[in-house]
Structure 1
Amino acid sequence: MNYPQFYCHWMQTIGLDISAMPDAAQRLSPGTPSLPLALLTYYQCAGNSAINTAYNQLLSPEDIYQEQGYLIFMHENQGVVDWGIRLQDLEQANPIVWQRNNDEQAWYAEDYQLSSFLMANWYWAEFGEEKPEEFFRL
């Protein structure tokens, strides 16, 4: 998949401004594992975009952290859930996203791979409407 093309297409379709973060890989904190290609490329294409913190908060590369066997990359706007990637899946270019219910400390697989999850999340924030992963295919 051509991630820059995918992200630009969907962000423009949704009507979001795109602001790049070309130094995303250099901003990772020491000891943070390499990011999956879908997440690193998103940061490089749109990491400084306002949507990243307008509702749910996509963490900056330097704020990503490991907990309970997951790499946490996003917080829900009220702190009810966090989203992460299983550490064992970091080698995959576009892994499944997992959601943690912070009250139960239980993890659940989302119905989206990382690239589609990001676009679905921003789509929901803009339109209040959930779309299946298939909607976000090019």
Structure 2
Amino acid sequence: MKCIELNSEGNFDPWDPSKLKELQKKEFDDRIGQKLLFENKTIKVWEVILFPGERLPFRKISGNYNFTSMTEGLAVSRSANGKISLVRINKGDSMFMKHEGQESIYDFENIGDNILFLHAMEFKPLVEKTDGLKVRFEI
């Protein structure tokens, strides 16, 4: 997977006005994918299928997750800080997104000719128990 920065943070001049309006509404989803395939006390597994021209709207993500691509394609991702990245995805590519509770707001759009098919594994946050130990779930 290769990411190329098309636009730097803080510069909203080249942005499509409809995307800026969407950001200003602040109606963000917190789902990583379109369809939840599996969930237990520690993880959620999501599916994303984007046909050419389809897009996941802006989402507010604060958890860590890993995604793996089942297909190759080309995408663009816009961040609420103004950054725009071009993403070249190869079949089998995997990437870990570390948020550690810090909120990030971004979208993801298929701008290629192929269907993008991704699986994402979202890691639920650690739960701190009263004895100071951190665990992934309550026992």
TM-score of the superposed pair, with normalisation by structure 2: 0.24
The answer to which structure has the higher strand fraction is 2
Higher relative contact order (CA 8 A, sep 6+): 2
TM-score of the superposed pair, with normalisation by structure 1: 0.24
If you compute each CA radius of gyration, which structure gives the higher value, 1 or 2? 2
The answer to which structure has the higher helix fraction is 1
